[in-house]
Structure 1
């Protein structure tokens, strides 16, 4: 304004000046007039700031409506608006708003098949409603949790949630909550195929609904009634309820339930055989679902059409299944994708296209596995996060405690450490003393057990292996003394008596050897010994025994071999093992003796027979006192001590002994001795 006043004053002054004969003055006056006009325009319009329209602010109710609108056809958009609503509720500290958004997020997860995430959100919302004492919210979340458990197939866990919702609704005389609780309880028993129990709950819901204004609950009641009567075969009642629900839901707000009711009615007609009527209704439901962009109802309609065409027109049914699969993939609904792939694979199998069925099944299992492992990984991440949080909190508490008690700990630490050291020294001394006493006691117990075993074995041999031959000798002498035997019988009995005496003598020799070893230890006098000479001597000694059973003995002895051992021990080893081979080899059998140079300056002895073999259960204990003696092929008797003595002789001569045997084929006894003299301590 000041610029304008100054300009007008100057212009007035110039205007009063005569301009005749002065063209410069005229030009200046014209310029000033133009400048004045520009300044006036700038003053009037140039300094005005544009006014921005005030943006509209969405509240929790608006966000909830947006989520409900996009929940089925655009779940990503629904989740976006739910997050915006959650942020708003947290900024404004609106706990009820947080619970409402959690409930909507849970339904989004539930629709996509993510049951565990949905359940967690419902539980969080339930806790908030409990803190707020909001009974309607508590009822709502209990019902949602029951629905999740029922869809997972865990009806036993779903029923308590529905009963809790019913109880709270009855306490607050909330007819709408009571009606919804009865409906959901009926759905649980319908899921269990207990349709009569389900119908009883639906009837209670219907009687309560008669006193309430029209709502979607009444349509749900019609839908559930129709489904239950369809499954029980009461088709006329099912048609009545489906048509009743369709007539009451034919407007945009209830179009989703209208489509479900239409598909339910179509299934009734399909069950009654009116496939054409069913297909007509399902196609109408499909058009409606696409018109309102409801992907969930579109998927249901496509699956219903595929089922109707499945028997008569599998190609058309496959087309509808592929469309349903596309809908599930577009919405990233894993549950729908798996259902569609399962029906596609089944249709291929029915038509005989097993390769396509295999591919569909493989794809189904891969998606199911990835979805399952994703769910598991989320659970693990949540548990890990919870663990880290708890760990951090515990660490903070621990630091606080340490800081508050640090001075006291410093004062008493010295005395605690001193006392602990003294106590440890005392306990250590007692521990080592007790351990030494236990060791001595265990050694004494072991020696007593071994001595007891030796005693039992000795008495067993004395009582059995020596008593019987002596009894036979006495009986024979009694017969001879009384003159009851002829000369021929005496000769035969003397031959048998000689054999028994020989066996008894061998037994006594074994007992003497074994007893000496137990009392004095193994006496050993080692020298260079020729195995061939000892083997030949024992073969000659046992030749008569082998000849009686027509057993041939073969030898394969490497010439000029010398072993460093006790000659008496080697003689006992060869005689005992060879006599055992003869004892357990049947008539006409073969025994093969082999002596060959072996690794690490050793000589290996092998006695192989074609006898009856040894049971596998006896192989581990055959060289111990636990071994049980058995009779030979001609009922020859033994003591089972021979191999025990052999084992001790082999150990004394720094060798090794083992056996290999197969039932019905024979046995192989091996033992090794040193080939050259070794330095003895």
Structure 2
């Protein structure tokens, strides 16, 4: 079990480290016995079945029993954790194994062996990741961060807490989010950054009050009360800790009650009211009799030593101080060691035991030098400062760019909507003209009926395909943009939230622009035909320009693009049409190439042509699709390796453009090995 523990109440004091792992399962001795007996009865019943040790229910019950022993019997805790780990390994039950590692790590933490505790918490974390068990993953993160805190590795501790916050937010686990907020407030408290400490504690309280989790709320109130003590607001500390005491009593959480009693005592000690402080410390001491947790007896005995010193009962003060020192040495921990040595020095000095007092004073000086935490504190402050700087910088950018972002977004969406409507109007007008002309010819010339009907059918098919593409590939993103900005205008979406959508908006705009370009090109070729105007063209420059234009898509998937086309590859072609061919083939290769893949463009010389090729090592094309991939009558939508969506028009356009320039196009592909698209372009001297 881990929970907060006190240090010295006279000077700025104590590291109140805590985790909601085992401690959330601890109850009063009476309630604990009741739960333990119920678990033992369940274990007895399941043992009567065959192969019970291979039953996950049996392993889960052992883990539950171990949690009940966590505050009261550490030896049983170790035995049970070892047994659950062994049984879980035998049947490959990773969840049971992870829970066993957590409990075993808790055992080593409680006896002061931080290295072993960290080792088993890391094993629990890895096991939880392998099965994606978020609860155990968060639990192991919190445990690990706490152990790093015990070792004064504050930067490592902060990293684990921040990771835990991100995971809790991702999976919307408010209970653990609140836990990590309280945990991270500990680090700020240790740096005496009490404003930040209170901020995080109040954030945790908001979650607790919303979720109704009385356990975490009472724990948060306890730590908030301690923080009020640190800033000298004893009145707020007293009212806050009274609420926590009430909560823990109702929940019968005795280990946490000892903590709240010690905080109550600390408030009285701050007021030099030693008699009332002793009343609350004695209440805590009585509860500690049933709790097998030596670590948390150290701060209790230290407070009792300081209280009896204030009451001038030096004998009892020395007894409690000596007990605290012995446990501290047994657990090999420096926590509270300087305060313990200081009170023992004061007691012996007051009792005129000057030799003993001098010994304790020398030990105090040596320990004070040893527990110098400047390096770790500096590392934490640097990391904290970096985080704060990033937060401030992002906030500054958001505030100054907000209007510009909104204006640019409206412009982009308006342009897209206008373009979409213009395309629809143009296509409708062209189709209407074609249909009218065909109908007139049908009346005037019956002999051309068959030809005119076919032409009309083709025009209608073109319109249908365009409408289908517009409906599925343009209308959807445009409606999404409209919905997004409707939410923003209604203040249901903050500017910060809007900014998170901007990368996706930019990506969608690029996709829509590419789709519109293909639609316009294909629509023009289908309606009126294309005018081909060949000229001398450098293929190397054309390839480099397209690689540059599509570099963003390549960078997103970490794809390497290689241009092996030589400068001497000069062709006779319509540069705009072949540019569209290369762009579509490269875009297609990017779509179907996995991350870290490679796309290569090269050229091979023949007597009359340059044979260009675009090669990728992507997913390839199945044999049944190879025969129809350039078929103008079939238009299908395929999804790339990252769900990139296309209209299926690209390769049809490529075929038309290549043929318009006197060349040919084909593909060679092997499934899961990649594809190579070839097309030929005439040489200048042959034309």
TM range (shorter): 0.3 to 0.5
Q: TM-score, normalised by structure 1?
A: 0.42
Larger Rg: 1
- Specify which structure has the bigger relative contact order, considering alpha-carbon pairs within 8 angstroms and separated by 6 or more residues: 2
Q: TM-score, normalised by structure 2?
A: 0.42
